[in-house]
């Protein structure tokens, strides 16, 4: 092989090497960085209390995360009812989710090799006041029908009346898991059950211990190659 041919081959191998390694390296770096960002957002959310803060105060507290902000609006009978924004952090870089949908299956699986995870803090504002704060971590797995999720809804006794997130017979703290099982043709359970989603609701009546446990999200799911296939792995409060 001529020197020119060797140079062309070397350049081609280098390009292929970069194309194969660059996507997973970018995704791993992003997932670790965004896991750290999610931990900072979680720490900030712990300082926010519905019923005791205005919309302006809440936005100021969360302003350092404005790059993750998505504006939302709740409507009833086509009329604005409340502002429902979301500070949303994903474990994938933006390019990956945009490009992957146009790729063949083998390339798609090569790029999206980490289970998709997200962490969000969603304040609900009404008449200039913070009336609800929802903190949620979710994870999706290829082939699974539903994502695994843990959601904490922080309310205030002064703003709870008529709130659609208020559970039935709520007394200040409630954990509502959704349990799923596989069954055979006769309705008998096959294998162990699991919790696909877990909803935690609390207000000022919750004890300091209950409140502390409600925010113990396991953000290592963000960077886990195996992932978390039970909501209690995301938030172990129901165990």
* 28 vs 45: which has the higher pLDDT: 45
| 13, pLDDT greater than 50 | no
Q: Considering the entire predicted model, what is its pTM?
A: 0.83
- Cα–Cα distances (Å) from 150 to 62, 69, 109, 196, 215, in that order, read 21, 20, 26, 8, 10
Is the separation of the CB atoms in 130 and 50 below 8 Å?
yes
Q: What is the largest CA-CA distance in the chain?
A: 81
- Cα–Cα distances (Å) from 206 to 4, 36, 203, 212, in that order, read 74, 28, 6, 10
Q: Could you please report the per-residue DSSP string of 179-239?
A: EEEEE-TTS-EEEEEEEEEEEEEE-TTS-HHHHHHHT---GGGGG-SS---SHHHH-GGG-
- pLDDT digit string (tens) for 61-115? 999 999 999 988 776 656 566 788 999 999 988 877 777 677 777 666 667 788 9
**Nearest CA among 217, 172, 223 for reference residue 198:** 217
| 198, pLDDT greater than 70 | yes
**Nearest CA among 135, 98, 97, 99 for reference residue 114:** 97
**Nearest CA among 119, 89, 115 for reference residue 227:** 115
Q: Is 52 helix (H, G, I), strand (E, B) or coil?
A: coil
CA dihedral 224, 229, 230, 233 (to 10 degrees): -10
Identify the top-confidence range among 39-48, 169-178, 188-197.
39-48
């Amino acid at each position: 092989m001529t020197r020119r041919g060797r140079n062309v081959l070397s350049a081609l191998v280098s390009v292929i090497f970069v194309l194969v390694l660059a996507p997973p390296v970018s995704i791993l770096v992003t997932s670790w960085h965004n896991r750290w960002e999610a931990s900072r957002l979680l720490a900030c959310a712990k300082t926010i209390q519905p019923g005791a803060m205005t919309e302006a105060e809440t936005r100021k507290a969360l302003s350092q995360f404005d790059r993750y902000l998505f504006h939302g609006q709740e409507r009833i009978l086509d009329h604005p009812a409340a502002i429902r924004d979301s500070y949303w952090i994903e474990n994938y870089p933006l390019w990956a989710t945009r490009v992957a949908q146009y790729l063949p299956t083998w390339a798609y699986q090569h790029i999206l090799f980490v289970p998709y995870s997200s962490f969000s803090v969603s304040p609900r504002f009404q008449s200039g006041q913070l009336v609800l704060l929802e903190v949620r971590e979710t994870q999706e797995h290829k082939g699974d029908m539903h994502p695994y999720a843990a959601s904490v809804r922080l309310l205030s006794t002064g703003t709870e009346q008529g709130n659609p997130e208020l559970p039935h017979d709520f007394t200040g703290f409630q954990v509502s898991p959704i349990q799923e099982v596989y069954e055979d043709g006769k309705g008998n359970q096959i294998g162990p059950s699991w919790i696909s989603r877990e909803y935690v609701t609390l207000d000022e009546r919750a004890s300091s211990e209950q409140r502390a446990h409600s925010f113990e999200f396991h953000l290592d799911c963000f960077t886990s190659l195996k992932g978390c296939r039970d909501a209690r792995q995301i938030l172990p409060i129901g165990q």
